[in-house]
Chain A
Amino acid sequence: MPFIPHTEDDVQAMLKAIGADSIDDLFDEIPAELRISELAGVPEALSEMEIVRLMRSRSLRDRLPLCFIGAGAYEHHIPAAVWDIATRGEYYSAYTPYQAEASQGTLQTIYEYQTMITSLTGMYASNASLYDGASALAEASLMAVRGNRASNSKRILLAAGVNATYQSVAEAITGNQGLHFDRLPLDISKGTTDRAGVDAGDEAPVALVIQQPSFFGTLEDIDALTDWAHAQGALVIAIVNPTSLAVLKAPGDWGETGADIVCGEGQPLGVPLSSGGPYFGFMACTQKLVRQMPGRIVGRTTDLNGQPGFTLTLQAREQHIRRSKATSNICTNQGLMVTAATIYLSLLGHAGLKQVALASNNKTARLLELLTAIDGVEQTFSGSFFHEVVVTLDRPIAPVLEALAAVDILGGLDLSVAFPELGNALLVCATETKSDADLQRYASSLADILK
């Protein structure tokens, strides 16, 4: 079935009307070196029958191994009702409808989602979501530069435990707008930001980014870091794991006055790992910064008949009104993922989410106990952790992970790639999905390999 409705005659007529010779001419302004003629691993157009066959064969590569990798995306149990409801015809669209107000149910779902995010983060307002956690940090950084008007700086400080991938994504997105990122030193014994080494440097930062729990699963001294940043005239951007907020302090309560912007990866809330996406980013902020927030925001209002209704609000921030001066080019949201997250949170409730968080923490503690009982495995950092922890092995990590994969265990993330100063360090995660037998199987397999 042709999904492009224009005939060759239509195309020629349109090209003639605008004075272009070919469709390729329209892309002339993109430099040749930035254009990719073909995508590796993506074949030329295939028929439906061929593509189904191809995708089936690729899906067989996922052998459902036992997964102990976290590092930003987390395997949690997703109640069957979540995707049963989310994929109903009424919901099953990735987009906010163009005439948004015509779809009151969609808007109410987003409104409920925003309410849940503000409740979890302790912030004033949430947007309707962004693409993912990493691009949410980029947007939060740009937002901090716009919102912190007393500062002329475009320098963003990162706490030592900020996900290195988030940093590289934020640099790629914001680099041409002059933003630059500096990382604070890591306390090698605790796996948190080295407070003694904290120095604003020559150029006062416009914002400090604190990830809690840190990329290493450890817990930063968020109150002290928040107050320190505010004393420097910097805004505080919190990156948080939404599951952890069931048991950890909400960013709105960090330090004396709380974080200013909160963002993160929403995937743990009912979105499957699915080979890396689609996920969704969330973002919330203080009342003072709400007009600097990117993305769509749904508000509740009263219609002509006095009935409650939902509407897109504060649209003067957005590019269809403010054009080049919009807060962002983001004019969409991850609607379907957000729908799943809203259903997930509704089904679990406060108590259920807390159970998930505590169970994950317990499983990780148990895993740590089993692993450190093995000769050649030690806990890398002292102190508390959420549902991820770093262990140091007595040999290089990569071959060990390969040996584990051979018995269908994904053993964790090799930190020696991004953080060579940590030596043979392995980041492992256990959520509520792991039974004690699973943990035992990992430990005994690792013990065999390290023998």
Chain B
Amino acid sequence: MSELPGDLEYTNDHEWLRKEEDGSVTIGITDHAQTSLGDLVYVELPELDVDVEVGGEMAVVESVKAASDVYAPVSGNVVAVNEALSDDPEKINADPYGDGWIVRLQPTADGDGETMTPDEYQALLDELES
């Protein structure tokens, strides 16, 4: 059973968001997502200062058995990417909610994108496992 940090929001696409104090949003994939993908071998990061729309493809995570898009959970401008993943994509496997963060966005539209609380996401995971 994967552990869900209580201070994060979650999406249907198994991504997590953390609202930072400066108003930006840090995004990564959940422990469930990294476990399902398996050992990650490559992460394709977006360019800095690119605008992404909610639901749009933002990054690609590639494991030994699959490649999967990371979608923008909110509309925003890319203000930071986790460059360390270029050399060390397995950081996502080791620490999905910490060192394995992927992108930080500055939201450009208020309140677009639907997110879940930890409990709601847990319920989704329970449903997937049942």
Given A149-B47, A150-B47, A291-B44, residue A316 in contact with residue B69 (CB < 8 A): no
The one of B44, B67, B69 in contact with A321, judged by C-beta atoms closer than 8 angstroms, is B67
The residue of chain A having its C-beta at the shortest distance from the C-beta of B62 within the complex is A316
Number of A residues, CB within 8 Å of B: 8
A322–B44 alpha-carbon span in the complex (Å) = 14
Contact A316 B67 (CB under 8 A): yes
A317–B63 alpha-carbon span in the complex (Å) = 11
Q: Is B66 in the interface zone, CB < 8 Å from A?
A: yes
A325–B47 alpha-carbon span in the complex (Å) = 19
The one of B42, B63, B65 in contact with A291, judged by C-beta atoms closer than 8 angstroms, is B42
A325–B61 alpha-carbon span in the complex (Å) = 13
A residues 321-361 in Cβ contact with B at 8 Å? 321-322, 325
Contact-size category for B: 10 to 19
A residues 288-310 in Cβ contact with B at 8 Å? 291
Give min CB distance, B15 to chain A, whole Å: 18
The one of A149, A291, A321 in contact with B66, judged by C-beta atoms closer than 8 angstroms, is A321
Give min CB distance, B109 to chain A, whole Å: 21
Contact mask B67-99 → A, CB, 8 Å, 1/0? 101000000000000000000000000000000
- Determine the chain B residues whose CB is within 8 A of the CB of A291 once the complex forms: 42, 44, 62
- Determine the chain B residues whose CB is within 8 A of the CB of A316 once the complex forms: 42, 62-63, 66-67
The one of B46, B63, B67 in contact with A322, judged by C-beta atoms closer than 8 angstroms, is B67
Give min CB distance, A204 to chain B, whole Å: 15
The residue of chain A having its C-beta at the shortest distance from the C-beta of B67 within the complex is A316
Interface of A is mostly: helix
The residue of chain B having its C-beta at the shortest distance from the C-beta of A325 within the complex is B69
- Determine the chain A residues whose CB is within 8 A of the CB of B42 once the complex forms: 291, 316
- Determine the chain B residues whose CB is within 8 A of the CB of A322 once the complex forms: 67
- Determine the chain A residues whose CB is within 8 A of the CB of B65 once the complex forms: 321
A126–B46 alpha-carbon span in the complex (Å) = 25
A150–B49 alpha-carbon span in the complex (Å) = 10
- Determine the chain A residues whose CB is within 8 A of the CB of B67 once the complex forms: 316-317, 321-322, 325
A325–B69 alpha-carbon span in the complex (Å) = 10
The residue of chain B having its C-beta at the shortest distance from the C-beta of A322 within the complex is B67
Give min CB distance, A120 to chain B, whole Å: 27
A residues 145-182 in Cβ contact with B at 8 Å? 149-150
A150–B42 alpha-carbon span in the complex (Å) = 19
B residues 30-67 in Cβ contact with A at 8 Å? 42, 44, 46-47, 62-63, 65-67
- Determine the chain A residues whose CB is within 8 A of the CB of B63 once the complex forms: 316
A362–B69 alpha-carbon span in the complex (Å) = 54
A316–B62 alpha-carbon span in the complex (Å) = 7
A149–B81 alpha-carbon span in the complex (Å) = 15
- Determine the chain A residues whose CB is within 8 A of the CB of B46 once the complex forms: 149
A291–B65 alpha-carbon span in the complex (Å) = 15
Q: Most chain-A Cβ atoms within 10 A of its Cβ — which of B42, B46, B63?
A: B42
- Determine the chain A residues whose CB is within 8 A of the CB of B44 once the complex forms: 291
A316–B89 alpha-carbon span in the complex (Å) = 15
- Determine the chain B residues whose CB is within 8 A of the CB of A150 once the complex forms: 47
- Determine the chain A residues whose CB is within 8 A of the CB of B66 once the complex forms: 316, 321
Give min CB distance, B59 to chain A, whole Å: 11
The residue of chain B having its C-beta at the shortest distance from the C-beta of A152 within the complex is B50
Give min CB distance, A417 to chain B, whole Å: 44
A149–B67 alpha-carbon span in the complex (Å) = 18
A45–B42 alpha-carbon span in the complex (Å) = 51
Give min CB distance, B37 to chain A, whole Å: 10
The residue of chain B having its C-beta at the shortest distance from the C-beta of A149 within the complex is B47
A2–B62 alpha-carbon span in the complex (Å) = 44
The residue of chain B having its C-beta at the shortest distance from the C-beta of A318 within the complex is B67
The residue of chain A having its C-beta at the shortest distance from the C-beta of B44 within the complex is A291
Can you name 18 A-B residue pairings with CB atoms under 8 Å? A149-B46, A149-B47, A150-B47, A291-B42, A291-B44, A291-B62, A316-B42, A316-B62, A316-B63, A316-B66, A316-B67, A317-B67, A321-B65, A321-B66, A321-B67, A322-B67, A325-B67, A325-B69
* Seed contacts A291-B44, A316-B62, A317-B67; 11 additional CB < 8 Å A-B pairs: A149-B46, A149-B47, A150-B47, A291-B42, A316-B42, A316-B63, A316-B66, A316-B67, A321-B67, A322-B67, A325-B67
Closest 5 interchain pairs by CB? A316-B67, A316-B62, A322-B67, A149-B47, A150-B47
